[in-house]
Amino acid sequence: MIVDMPTIGCAKSRLCGQHDEPGIEKGAHAPLMHEGEEIGRVLRTRTGIKPVYVSPGHRVDMAGSVRWALNCCRKYKLPETTRWAHQLAGAG
């Protein structure tokens, strides 16, 4: 392992799996399930705004991925790091 840093995934759209809609308020989340396994959470980062999809990566559990995503959101729906990467890639 070169860096051994904790990581999470965060996306605006669902790649796979099924879920119920989370509550409307900021911080509400619902499990994202695929073939009977929880692979992530559908997380509302702002009240009344479409949710994002978060998943644990290296050295982070499911609850930690939700906490990190919420803590990295300021005035936008996406965590700042994801928003910056999206802009740098030319999509935003």
The pLDDT value given to residue 1 = 63
The pLDDT value given to residue 91 = 63
The pLDDT value given to residue 41 = 98
**Structure confidence by residue, pLDDT tens digits, 30-48:** 999 999 999 999 999 999 9
Please name the amino acid found at residue 46: R
Residue 90 has which token pair? Answer: 């030319």
For the chain, the structural domain boundaries read 8-88
Region for 45 from its dihedrals, namely left if φ exceeds 0, alpha if ψ lies in -120 to 50, beta otherwise:
alpha
The long-range contacts involving 34-38, CB below 8 angstroms and separated by at least 24 positions, are 38/62
**Structure confidence by residue, pLDDT tens digits, 57-74:** 999 999 999 999 999 998
pLDDT interval class at 90 (50, 70, 90): confident
Q: Do the Cβ atoms of 78 and 10 come closer than 8 Å?
A: yes
Burial class from Cβ neighbours inside 10 Å (0-12, 13-18, 19+) for residue 68 reads buried
The pLDDT value given to residue 18 = 98
| pTM exceeds 0.85, yes or no | yes
